[in-house]
Structure formats: structure tokens, C-alpha cells
């Protein structure tokens, strides 16, 4: 028996594949290749679903972060805070607009950005913006961060690449805040295209206008240059086709998370706090082992018996080049990284899969 990390076979069933083929056939017949009617349809539906006024589709999730920084007026040399536990694209976007990264430390139980560390870094480094990440699908403490950032006029860009289906503590969907909120629709995300795509959600009309200008070579503003980050029509069609299924799939992920939690809670592993079970999108199911050595042992054993797993993230951002010399706080992130293992997580994990993983865990943990 094997339990793969992803399951595209069931996700992209025959009905969906046929639907997409038909849509793409129509796009080819109509010669409507970029920013077509499916772009507009997805933008409207996704904004509504996430409780935002505007959705702007883009070429990918990293562009969404970069364009958010530009839309907020972040300039070369400005300092932007990034949490130590995230996919490195969160920091890459800062470098790509020639701004500087300042490391912000994380919560030892979740890997989420720490509001107290954020306030210290704002004061010490005069940050112009921060990029809290809803890592693994867990909601970052946005209300607390907003309170801190309002005092110092610091912009917030929420990296929601892993949080399609996550709810804030107030029960509203991620994307409904008054910050710029970025998404990636890379194929492995909860809602994925058949290629690259991304988006920004915002409630601000002016920012939405600026983003539309930037994503299409500055068109619409005679005094501006932009770039090309248009989302092609075929990817938008795939997203329109997949969107109606996503709510149910996220519920199924939640059920899987509950089953893992029940099965593993008596083992000597550190699970995420139970309070996140309802609010997370469960993009990933991470748990912490006592040491890096034990994580390596578990990983090797799981590989041998056919359980897909990944150590997101093997190191904190501060231990990754080229931002290893950037200032900030990172002690907790450093001790958090390396000990994490992410178990297979998708809507089609069965009771049998969970049981198999539990039994194999018991064998390695002894
Ligand atoms: C996937 C991801 C990104 C980047 O998205 P792309 O679409 O690959 O550019 C950024 N941040 C986080 C946290 C991600 O998981």
C-alpha cells in the first residue's frame, strides 16, 4: 500500500477534464487567448466567495506579491518584514522590487508570524510593509497585526497562497480584510490551475485600478510603465471549472485533518493546536518531531514504505541564501524549521490511509 502526497487523478476526474477540453476548444475557436470572458467570470466569483470587492487575476502568486508591493508604493531600499517560516517566494518578491528583507520571528506552536516580534522589527528597522503568511493554511493573527501596523502606518500584504478556504478568527474568509491579499493557483495549491496563475484581492478601488494598470504594461495610465503579469484565458477557464468544487474539497480536507488529529494525538509528536481545525484550509498537514534527526528518520522510513511526505520547511528563511545576511529576529523560526514533516493531504485520503500512517509512525517512534 502507498499513500501519495498529492492525488491529481481523482481531483481531475473525467467530467472535469471533458469540461475543460470543451472550454479550451471554444477559446481556440474564438481566438480569445488572454484576459477573456473566463477571467472576468472567475474574478467576480472568487471575489464574492472570499468576501472581497475586487479580484485581479495575475500570472502567478509571486507576481501577486510583487505587484502588491508596487501598488502600495514600496520603493527600492524600503524595508519589508517577512516571517521566518514560509516558502521563499514571500521574500523573493521583496528582493525583486529592490526592497530589503527584515526577518520576523514566528510562533513556536504554528510557525505563524509573531505580532510582538513584528512590532519590535517595525520600531527597530522602520518597516514600510509586512508580509504575514497564512502558512499551511492556518490563519495568521491579522487582527493583532493590523492593530500594530496602524500605529506605525505599515502596509500589510497577506500571502494567502496556501489559504484558499481559510477563515480569519472573526469567522470571515481570508481575502475579506482591508489589506492586499495574494493567492497562487499553482497546480498543487487547494485551488490550482493547469499551469500558473495568481490573484490579488482588495476592497480598495484605487489599489484595484493601479493593479490593473501594472499587470498590463501600464496600459490605462499614460504616465506609468508596468509589466506583463496577465493571466491567460485557458488558465482562467480551468479556474472557473474548478471553483464550484473547491468548497467541498476543503471540507473533505478538514475531515482528513480531524482524522489525523484523532489518530496521532497520543503519539510523541507535536500536532497543531486544535483551535485551527475548523478555520484552516488544510493545504498541508504539518506536525513537529522532537529533533531534526528524528524527522530525518521518519522521512526515510516513510519513503521506504511508500508514504509521501515533505519537510516543509527544512530551514528558516534566514538560513537560506541570498537573504542569510538580512537583519531581524529568527531564533524561534530556526528551531521550528527542520523538525516539521507534512503528511499526505488532499481530499481523497481514506481511513485506511490514516491508519496505515499511524501504524508506520508507531514503528519509527518506537
Ligand atoms: C506557492 C507559494 C507562493 C508562490 O506562488 P507561485 O504561484 O508559485 O509564484 C508564494 N508564497 C507561498 C507561501 C506559497 O506557498
pLDDT at 313: 95
The full length of the chain comes to 366
Beta strands in the chain (DSSP E): 54-58, 79-83, 100-104, 129-130, 155-159, 180-184, 198-202, 285-288, 340-343
User: With 90 as the cut, is the pLDDT of residue 42 above it?
Assistant: yes
pLDDT tens by residue, 92-137: 999 999 999 999 999 999 999 999 999 999 999 999 999 999 999 9
Measured from the CB, is residue 68 less than 6 Å from ligand 1? no
Measured from the CB, is residue 89 less than 6 Å from ligand 1? yes
Q: How far, in Å, from the CA of 25 to the mean position of ligand 1?
A: 29
Pocket probe for ligand 1: among 6, 59, 60, 61, the residue whose CB has the most ligand atoms within 8 Å is: 61
Mean pLDDT value across residues 339-356: 98
Q: How far, in Å, from the CA of 311 to the mean position of ligand 1?
A: 16
pLDDT tens by residue, 291-324: 999 999 999 999 999 999 999 999 999 999 999 9
Measured from the CB, is residue 133 less than 6 Å from ligand 1? yes
Measured from the CB, is residue 235 less than 6 Å from ligand 1? no
Percent of the chain with pLDDT over 90: 98
Mean pLDDT value across residues 250-268: 97
User: With 90 as the cut, is the pLDDT of residue 83 above it?
Assistant: yes
Measured from the CB, is residue 94 less than 6 Å from ligand 1? no
pTM: 0.98
Measured from the CB, is residue 91 less than 6 Å from ligand 1? no
Closest ligand 1 atom to Cα of 185: 7
Q: What are the distances in angstroms from CA 149 to CA 121, 179, 217, 332?
A: 11, 11, 31, 22
Q: Grade residue 170 by pLDDT with cuts at 50, 70 and 90.
A: very high
Measured from the CB, is residue 338 less than 6 Å from ligand 1? no
Q: How far, in Å, from the CA of 183 to the mean position of ligand 1?
A: 8
Closest ligand 1 atom to Cα of 196: 7
Closest ligand 1 atom to Cα of 65: 10
User: With 90 as the cut, is the pLDDT of residue 244 above it?
Assistant: yes
Q: Is 358 left (phi over 0), alpha (psi -120 to 50) or beta?
A: alpha
Q: Grade residue 366 by pLDDT with cuts at 50, 70 and 90.
A: confident
Residue nearest to atom 7 of ligand 1 (CA): 61
Measured from the CB, is residue 342 less than 6 Å from ligand 1? no
How far is it, in rounded angstroms, from Cα 98 to Cα 96?
5
Q: How far, in Å, from the CA of 71 to the mean position of ligand 1?
A: 19
Average pLDDT, the chain: 97
DSSP, residue by residue, 282-316: -S-EEEE-S-HHHHHHHHHHHHHHTB--B-S-SS-
pLDDT tens by residue, 180-217: 999 999 999 999 999 999 999 999 999 999 999 999 99
User: With 90 as the cut, is the pLDDT of residue 1 above it?
Assistant: no
Q: What are the two backbone dihedrals, phi and then psi, of residue 269, each rounded to the nearest 5 degrees?
A: -130, 155
**Separate counts of helices (H) and strands (E) for the chain:** 12, 9
C-alpha grid cell, residue 170: 472573526
Mean pLDDT value across residues 27-44: 95
Measured from the CB, is residue 312 less than 6 Å from ligand 1? no
Amino acid at each position: 500500500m502507498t499513500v501519495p502526497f498529492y492525488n491529481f487523478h481523482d481531483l481531475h476526474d473525467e467530467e472535469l477534464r471533458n469540461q475543460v477540453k470543451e472550454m479550451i476548444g471554444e477559446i481556440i475557436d474564438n481566438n480569445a487567448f488572454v484576459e477573456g470572458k473566463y477571467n472576468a467570470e472567475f474574478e467576480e466569483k472568487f471575489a464574492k466567495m472570499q468576501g472581497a470587492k475586487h479580484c485581479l487575476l495575475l500570472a502567478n502568486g509571486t507576481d501577486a506579491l510583487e505587484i502588491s508591493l508596487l501598488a502600495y508604493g514600496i520603493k527600492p531600499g524600503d524595508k519589508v518584514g517577512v516571517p521566518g517560516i514560509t516558502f521563499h517566494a514571500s521574500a523573493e518578491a521583496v528582493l525583486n522590487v529592490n526592497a530589503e528583507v527584515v526577518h520576523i520571528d514566528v510562533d513556536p506552536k504554528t510557525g505563524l508570524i509573531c505580532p510582538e516580534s513584528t512590532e519590535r522589527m517595525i520600531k527597530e528597522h522602520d518597516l514600510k510593509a509586512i508580509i504575514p503568511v497564512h502558512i499551511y493554511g492556518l490563519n495568521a493573527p491579522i487582527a493583532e497585526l493590523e492593530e500594530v501596523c496602524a500605529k506605525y502606518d505599515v502596509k500589510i500584504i497577506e500571502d494567502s497562497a496556501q489559504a484558499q478556504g481559510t477563515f480569519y478568527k472573526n469567522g470571515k474568509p481570508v481575502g475579506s480584510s482591508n489589506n492586499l491579499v495574494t493567492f497562487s493557483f499553482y497546480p498543487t495549491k487547494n485551488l490550482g490551475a493547469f499551469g500558473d496563475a495568481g490573484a490579488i484581492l482588495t476592497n480598495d478601488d484605487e489599489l484595484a485600478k493601479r493593479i490593473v494598470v501594472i499587470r498590463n504594461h501600464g496600459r490605462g495610465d499614460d504616465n506609468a510603465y508596468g509589466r506583463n503579469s496577465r493571466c491567460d484565458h485557458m488558465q482562467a477557464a480551468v479556474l472557473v471549472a474548478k471553483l464550484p468544487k473547491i468548497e467541498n474539497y476543503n471540507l473533505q480536507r478538514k475531515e482528513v485533518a480531524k482524522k489525523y488529529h484523532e489518530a496521532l494525538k497520543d503519539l510523541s509528536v507535536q500536532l497543531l493546536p486544535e483551535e485551527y481545525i475548523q478555520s484552516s484550509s488544510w493545504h498541508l498537514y504539518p506536525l513537529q518531531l522532537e529533533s531534526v534527526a528524528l524527522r530525518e528518520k521518519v522521512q526515510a522510513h516513510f519513503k521506504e514504505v511508500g508514504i509521501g511526505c515533505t519537510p516543509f520547511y527544512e530551514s528558516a528563511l534566514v538560513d537560506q541564501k541570498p537573504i542569510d545576511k538580512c537583519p531581524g529576529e529568527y531564533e524561534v523560526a530556526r528551531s521550528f524549521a527542520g523538525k516539521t514533516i507534512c503528511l499526505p493531504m488532499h481530499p481523497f485520503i481514506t481511513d485506511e490511509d490514516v491508519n496505515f500512517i499511524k501504524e508506520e509512525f508507531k514503528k519509527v517512534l518506537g
